[in-house]
């Protein structure tokens, strides 16, 4: 459970993709048979948009593998919750296990994909998503550090800039790190960026967003893929 309040910032002046569209775009990269851990917030939405025909097994670090969508109202079971403490259901073939076994799945590299929110991502793959380093804040980290250290593919879903217009994707994070060199891909409202040994590589842009704009809103050099694409997301809000 990570503190991604920044990712939940106000929607005013947002451009590009809606949040469901960001989740939709991330969902296209989840392959059939993947074991997936989704962070709290927008990442949770990803499960809704995985293309039909792909079977995905969801893991939640509090000790459930193979959970399904939220229950119907009135069907909630207090002992059947996810890491965000929200009610879940079970798919056939689900299992329960204790916390050490659950994090053995994470730390041991058994989860294929983790998607979470971010305060900042460095072009070296560093992630900051648990603390702004504010002196008066009560620090809280949850399982974010374990997830980014242990999962094979760690992706970020986050707005490209903060509600105050500051770039979230930058050469080096200024906030305390969650993990060093852990992020492979970013899904923002404006673009899909890969982190490569040479830094950010722009793969896809949201409709109407130019490379020049993205260079302005990204605080690090931005290479552009030869086959740069436009994200064609369905209408979702």
Write out the catalytic residue numbers.
Answer: 61
Contact mark string toward other proteins, 98..127, x via CB under 8 A: xxx-xxxxxxxxxx--------------x-
Residues numbered 122-141 forming contacts with other proteins, rule: CB under 8 A: 126, 131, 136, 138-141
Smallest distance from other proteins to CB 173, Å:
11
Smallest distance from other proteins to CB 208, Å:
37
Q: Under rule CB under 8 A, how many of the chain's residues touch other proteins? A: 60
Q: List the one residue from 73, 74, 93, 197 that touches other proteins (CB under 8 A).
A: 93
The one segment of 146-154, 155-163, 215-223, 226-234 that binds other proteins by CB under 8 A: 146-154
Residues numbered 193-232 forming contacts with other proteins, rule: CB under 8 A: none
Contacts of range 78-87, beta carbons closer than 8 Å, 24 or more positions apart? 83/1, 83/40, 83/142, 83/143, 84/1, 84/40, 84/44
**Residue 210 to residue 189: CA distance in whole angstroms:** 13
- The two tokens of residue 179 are 């993990």
* Segment holding 129, helix H or strand E: none
| Stated length of the chain | 237
Contact mark string toward other proteins, 26..55, x via CB under 8 A: ------xx-x-------------------x
DSSP string, 9-48: ---TT--SS-HHHHHHHHHTTPPTT-EEEE-SSHHHHGGG
Binding site for other proteins (CB under 8 A): 1, 32-33, 35, 55, 57, 59-66, 77-81, 85, 90, 92-100, 102-111, 126, 131, 136, 138-146, 149-150, 176-181
């Amino acid at each position: 459970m990570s503190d991604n309040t920044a990712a939940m910032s106000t929607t005013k002046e947002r451009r590009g993709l809606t949040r469901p569209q960001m989740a939709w775009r991330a969902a296209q990269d989840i392959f059939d048979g993947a074991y997936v851990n989704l962070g709290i917030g927008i990442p949770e939405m990803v499960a809704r948009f995985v293309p039909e025909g792909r079977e995905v097994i969801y893991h939640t670090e509090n000790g459930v593998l193979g959970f399904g969508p939220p229950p119907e109202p009135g069907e909630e079971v207090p002992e059947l919750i996810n890491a965000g403490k929200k009610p879940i259901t079970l798919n056939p073939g689900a299992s329960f296990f204790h916390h050490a076994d659950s994090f053995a799945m994470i730390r041991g590299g058994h989860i294929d994909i983790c998607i979470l929110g971010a305060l900042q991502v460095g072009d070296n793959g560093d992630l900051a998503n648990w603390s702004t380093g504010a002196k008066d804040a009560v620090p809280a980290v949850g399982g974010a550090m374990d997830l980014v250290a242990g999962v094979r593919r760690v992706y970020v879903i986050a707005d490209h800039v903060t509600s105050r217009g500051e770039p979230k994707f930058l050469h080096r994070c200024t906030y305390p790190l969650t993990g060093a060199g852990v992020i492979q891909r970013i899904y923002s409202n404006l673009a899909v960026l890969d982190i490569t040994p040479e830094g950010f590589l722009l793969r896809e842009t949201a409709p109407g967003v130019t490379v020049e704009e993205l260079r302005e809103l990204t605080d690090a050099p931005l290479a552009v893929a030869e086959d740069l694409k436009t994200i064609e997301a369905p209408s979702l809000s």
